[in-house]
Amino acid sequence: MTAPQTSWIASANDGQTHFPLQNLPYGVFSTKGQSPRVGVAIGDQVLDLAALDEAGLLPAAAKGAFAAVNLNRFIALGKPVWSETRKRLTALLSGEDAALRDNAALRDKALVPMSAATLHLPVEIPGYTDFYSSKEHATNVGRMFRDPDNALLPNWLEIPIGYNGRASSVVVSGTPLHRPNGQIKLPNEARPVFSPCRKLDFELEMGFIVGKESALGEPISTADAPAHMFGMVLLNDWSARDIQQWEYVPLGPFNSKGFGTSISPWVVTMEALEPFRRDNPEQSPQPLPYLQQQDKNAYDIALEVALQPQGAAAPSTICRTNFKAMYWTMAQQLAHHTVSGCNVRVGDLMGSGTISGNTPDSYGSLLEMTRNGAEPVTLADGSRRGFLEDGDDVIMTGFCQGEGYRVGFGSVSGKILPAR
């Protein structure tokens, strides 16, 4: 049986929208005077799942899970409930089941124009881990921060390197962030200075949300890993390069990253991404057995970064790349994360690491594109950027191109406010 392709909501069918019937990403939204609740994006509308649930149109197993300020309760119900809910929503929004389409009062109540909705952080994140899985990115950074001739560290081809990030400062798209202050070591000074960051950067990443917990002491295999994933988001891992360079040896980045991480408001489910699975990248040497994988765990997701200076008429696209080029897959990341016995929890966010391609216009950070600020990029309004300036808005977008439709992530954006 082929799933229906179009919706009676016209804006879902134009071939360009990120939110056609094939997508149905989950988020948390509110409207004026109402408390946050779970919704699904469809065309230019948000479908209020709490309202649908109240009307008895959603699976009984999900009863009460949508009148919630985050997706965690729904996610914790497990994969069969995710699938059943997706099937119900597909039926309701295609019109195969007319219960919503033909009920004007319910439509009025349950469909909210996206322009009238405030989007919130979709998930309460118990743990945030950030990986470092693009070979191009690791090579570019190693070249600049360490040894140009041995840019890739010896462990990089063996380990899907990751580190623990700061979950408290993960914010939803649209949240402005102050330029961080911190310690910076200037080349000719004996001691560091305390200063606003002078090398503020973004990192284009994606993240997956853990959908099923694991127990302490029980590793997740690469084969089981997909069963532990609920969905994906766009992620901007804001980075203060000068603070990072001074602080990161020996325990890793801390204040250079902890001031904020932005994610997109819509969580695109793994089920919606299923048609976009691709062959895994070749890995040489062959990884250790616990990292080997049989499934196709790469995903074809086209990504872009744009930068819009304060007052500029439009954003300038400065990076185009694709998620499928990542060396280590999400299944390998999760298998590695848990192989020691470390447990994961529902809602955990796992960042991919910066997604860089082969050429400067596909690099996922200004650090790489501008060679640490030495070769600024020129924007549409003629201004140049080595690193971010106050007032800059960074906008990341991404989508999977289907036949006549796109499964998209919308965008994650964030504006830089002056340091305090």
Q: Which residues bind its own copies (CB under 8 A)?
A: 126-127, 132, 142, 145-146, 153-155, 158-159, 161-169, 171, 177-178, 180-183, 185, 191-192, 194, 216-219, 240, 243, 246-256, 258-260, 285, 288-290, 336-337, 339-345, 348, 420
Bridge pairing between strands 162-164 and 177-178: unpaired
- The SS3 call for residue 123 is coil
- The residue among 8 and 163 lying less far from its own copies, judged by its C-beta, is 163
- The residue among 262 and 269 lying less far from its own copies, judged by its C-beta, is 262
**225 dihedral zone (left: phi>0; alpha: psi -120 to 50; beta):** alpha
Residue 165: what residue type?
G
- The residue among 188 and 340 lying less far from its own copies, judged by its C-beta, is 340
Cβ neighbours around 359 below 10 Å, total: 10
Tokens of 328: 């280590």
Least distance to its own copies from the beta carbon of 391, Å? 16
- The residue among 213 and 271 lying less far from its own copies, judged by its C-beta, is 213
Q: How many helices (H) and strands (E) does the chain have?
A: 10, 26
The answer to whether 137 is a known catalytic residue is: yes
CA quadruple 281, 233, 130, 318: dihedral positive or negative? positive
Catalytic residue among 18, 120, 137, 228: 137
> How many Å is the maximal CA-CA distance in the chain?
73
Least distance to its own copies from the beta carbon of 146, Å? 7
List beta partners, residue 303.
321, 398
- The residue among 249 and 374 lying less far from its own copies, judged by its C-beta, is 249
Q: Nearest 5 degrees, angle CA 302-CA 303-CA 309?
A: 150
Least distance to its own copies from the beta carbon of 406, Å? 33
Least distance to its own copies from the beta carbon of 247, Å? 6
Least distance to its own copies from the beta carbon of 340, Å? 4
- The residue among 255 and 264 lying less far from its own copies, judged by its C-beta, is 255
Least distance to its own copies from the beta carbon of 202, Å? 16
* CB 202, CB 394: distance < 8 Å: yes
**Distance linking the first and last C-alpha atoms of the chain:** 58
- The SS3 call for residue 82 is helix
Q: Distances from the Cα of 108 to the Cαs of 20, 48, 51, 85, 382, in angstroms?
A: 20, 10, 10, 21, 46
Query: How far out from the chain centre does Cα 380 lie?
Result: 26
Query: How far out from the chain centre does Cα 382 lie?
Result: 30
Catalytic residues, which ones?
A: 137
